[in-house]
A and B are shown apart, each in its own frame.
Chain A
Amino acid sequence: MVRLFLVIGFLLLTATARAAVDGEELFARHCSACHGSNGNGGVGVPLALPSFINSVDDEYLSKTIRIGRPGRIMPGFVELDDAQVTAITAYLRSWATKPAPARDNTVVKGDVKHGQVLFSSHCAQCHGEKGKGGKGTGVTFSRKRDLPIIAPALNNPGFLAAATDSMIRNTVLHGREGTPMNAASKAGLSKKDVNDLVAYVRSFADAYQKPAYQQSGHQQQISQPTEEDAVIVMESPYSLAETVENVKLAITNQNFTLVRTDFLDHGLVTEGKENKNQVVLHFCNFRFLFDALVIDPRVGMFLPCRVTVVESAGKVSVMAINPLRLSKLFNNDELDEACKHMHEIYTAILEDAVL
């Protein structure tokens, strides 16, 4: 009998130990890449600052985990079960210096119009016009940017679904110590001003325009290339060698620098044995590359730019990835512009080469 109790006791102990470890392990696996090993930030904002974690309720955290920040890099973690989300939330809570505030769903009433005026003069310089967020996200130590912490998007459906009016009001009233976000009083704003700002921020929920690809009913068109196509391909009427030369010229015409030409299976087979019918041209524009990395350091994966010329069964074709697909892959609306620009450039280079 005693033995049985011992065994049960032991099982219970290991079970609680596992649960306690879980939150930390889940954070390391799913969150630390962006929010830092100790919650001190990265591509994501810092989470360990007492001024943040002390001021938000558990539901704010769990909803943020579930929904993420659509179009602002943070994905929604739909595949985690409730126990896992609770464990992560509890782990975040371990950085707090006070008990979690209760969720307060009181609606804050204010003058949206006046809030809008105040927002333009006091908030938009960091949070962007209409609260679309600062340039880039989170914290970076690796490349120069405007602020030590980039202001989050406030018009984001993930933020608006997670935050209560009272959380927004408290954040604006008290600011977040240790971040560029100052208390309202420092800017000479009254409590009424703050309420007006809350009402304005809340009104973003109506104004937010989903990117086309997130709108329901958006159907893939088979007959037209769209942003969902993974690649851009054109057939060339020229020989492989001629097409390669054409691509080189087209790259220069677009003000890009040819970095390197090699074979697709370079490094995969012994030198000299490569398939000479698959030629890769790498090219770059450093200003563009740098700007893209400041917005989202992860995009380097698809840079420098690349066009591949392939000859197969006597047919020569030129191909490239479709950059329009990338802003979606990275869940980053800010990349939209850059990706559209790249799409135009790729298309122009390919068209130029086969003309």
Chain B
Amino acid sequence: MSDPAHFNLPARALHWTMAAMVLAMLFIGVAMVTSVAHYHALVALHRPLGIGILVLAVLRLINRWRSPPPDLPPDLPGWQRKAAHASHILLYGLMLTLPLVGWAMLSAAGYPIGLAGSVVLPPILPRDPGLYAWLRPLHTVLAYTLFGIILAHLGAALMHGLIRRDGVLGSMALRLTASQSR
């Protein structure tokens, strides 16, 4: 039943769930660090949502490894092919490292990393304020980089869908029946 022209259903479901989550996280992140009134509520949401992204990113990589994505159109210029490949590696890399850096920096700062109720994550680094001072700006730089790549990814996907009309955008469309179609 595998369809070489489409991502499999788990891949498509994960893609759109994570797209919404990652965008939400980026907006929550930049909003919370300037907000006074909503800072606490937003950070309390940011932590579990970010860890959720980490878990889903791992699942997604496993799925991608077991069910490789469809090929890009053969007529796509080589530089675009390379750019697509590089940006996808970066996207995966950042979806994994950004939450890990978030978790690590809170560990280094010595905060309890509460997710919900009495659920607290164990630290993944020893307490070291100097390390926190280094990881905290790294979290910002990586988040902004991720946002930039997402913008490029969005633009490229729309170029495929609206201008090239080569089926690349459709290969990620969330039609539940897509993997059975054709």
A, B assembled together: no
The interface of chain B, by Cβ under 8 A from chain A, is none
Please report A residues at the B interface, Cβ cutoff 8 Å: none
